[in-house]
Homo-oligomer: A and B are copies of this chain.
Amino acid sequence: MTPVDTMAELGAVAGTARLYTADEPLELVGGGRLEVVDVAYETYGTLNSTGSNALFICHALTGDAHAAGQRIGDRRPGWWDNLIGPGKAVDTDRWYVVCANILGGCRGTTGPSSINPATGQAYGLDFPLLDMADFVTVHRRLARHLGVERWAVLLGGSLGGMQVLQWALSHPDEVDNAILIASSSRLTAENIAFSAVGRQAIMRDPEFCNGRFSDAGTSPDRGLSVARMMAHITYLSEKAFSEKFGRAAQSGTLAPGFGIDFAVESYLEHQGESFLTRFDALSYLYLTRVMDYFDPFAAPDALDALRADPVKFLVMSFDSDWRFATSQSRRIVQHLEHAGLPTAFREINSPWGHDSFLLALPAYHATIQAFLDRAFDEVRG
């Protein structure tokens, strides 16, 4: 397949906005403060004259602003290109779609490996601790920058779904509809355990240098790739591993030894190595930790704002997802329904585990599309 420039076809705009400056710094929920915050974003389609067709995509842990389209020369399109585009479930002929890299990330938005203007060096572990609400604050500022006053739809999977939930809980007056996919309102002990071991692999890497690795000219690649390999196992189902790899040899027949021999080993090795080209060890620490602490329904008044300004929810899960299991989506639904909020829930049958949310599964995309069709009718109505 020859790469084509679908960015033009999408009416795509890519940019980086400086949203917070020393004059107007960002005060964080945890008490820290950032003097400068840049945000990388992409938009697809056109905001209509009434500003009623804006749809925000919240990306997952290792995602970025490049959700859709393919630039000439790129090996791959955006990470959710199967969902977003003209005539697709998220139809860019209808919706003005915005996706932005998250605060603390490493794909254009300010994060712990960005340069601290106060020191001229990377922040490292001096970067302040983040909260899910900080992600929302920054993306709300981006909305104002883009001239969006109201989101017809927020849409996100995994960590992205958590951000959607936070946004809908704290600013429901700016949101009409919210779609949460393979997400959670509160990680389980097992979830936290997996993330904790990944962080240990990174922090114990001698090249982590207590977070000062870029100053030291080192890079905790070993730790980060081990963390990614381990996490990746949890993003697929046991059945997916069996069907994709089974006990097949990587080349010809099995040749016992400690090198890469089984095909599944080669796959994980590739996942670990390719991750190094696009992700940063410090962002991995900061973003996973935000997920660990996220527990919005623990606040007794969590649903008060939503009760006053109801948002329509669609919550989805995949039956083979054991990392963010259906039970975690059901828990969100129970809280929302307890507050009397309109909530649709759908568990999709899929053998592929947590990463199903990135796949073009017909029942999955059809469910999103039907929800968006109704939302779009209301926009026009």
> How far does the Cβ of A317 sit from chain B's closest Cβ, in whole Å?
15
Interface stretch, picked from A137-145, A194-202, A370-378, is: A194-202
Interface stretch, picked from A18-26, A240-248, A344-352, is: A240-248
Report yes or no: A258 in contact with B193, Cβ–Cβ below 8 A: no
**Closest B residue by C-beta to A292:** B262
Report yes or no: A264 in contact with B204, Cβ–Cβ below 8 A: no
Taking CB atoms, residues of chain B closer than 8 Å to A262 are 189, 192, 196, 292
Q: List 26 A-B contacts (CB under 8 A).
A: A129-B257, A188-B242, A189-B242, A189-B247, A189-B264, A190-B238, A190-B241, A190-B242, A192-B264, A192-B265, A193-B264, A193-B265, A196-B262, A196-B265, A196-B268, A197-B226, A197-B229, A200-B226, A200-B229, A201-B201, A206-B222, A226-B226, A230-B230, A238-B325, A254-B293, A256-B293
Chain A interface secondary structure, helix, strand, loop or mixed?
helix
Within 8 A of B (CB), among A216-253: 222, 225-226, 229-230, 233, 236, 238, 241-242, 244-247
Interface hub of A247, A254, A272 (most chain B Cβ within 10 A):
A247
Which residues of chain A have a CB within 8 Å of any CB of chain B? 30, 125, 129, 186-190, 192-194, 196-197, 199-201, 203-206, 222, 225-226, 229-230, 233, 236, 238, 241-242, 244-247, 254, 256-258, 262, 264-265, 268-269, 272, 285, 289, 292-293, 295, 322, 325
**A233 CB contact (under 8 Å) in B190, B225, B292:** B190
Taking CB atoms, residues of chain B closer than 8 Å to A129 are 256-257
> How far does the Cβ of A35 sit from chain B's closest Cβ, in whole Å?
21
List the 5 closest pairs (A to B, CB-CB), nearest first. A189-B241, A204-B222, A189-B245, A190-B241, A189-B264
A196 to B264 CA separation, bound complex (whole angstroms): 9
> How far does the Cβ of A355 sit from chain B's closest Cβ, in whole Å?
14
A201 to B233 CA separation, bound complex (whole angstroms): 15
> How far does the Cβ of A320 sit from chain B's closest Cβ, in whole Å?
12
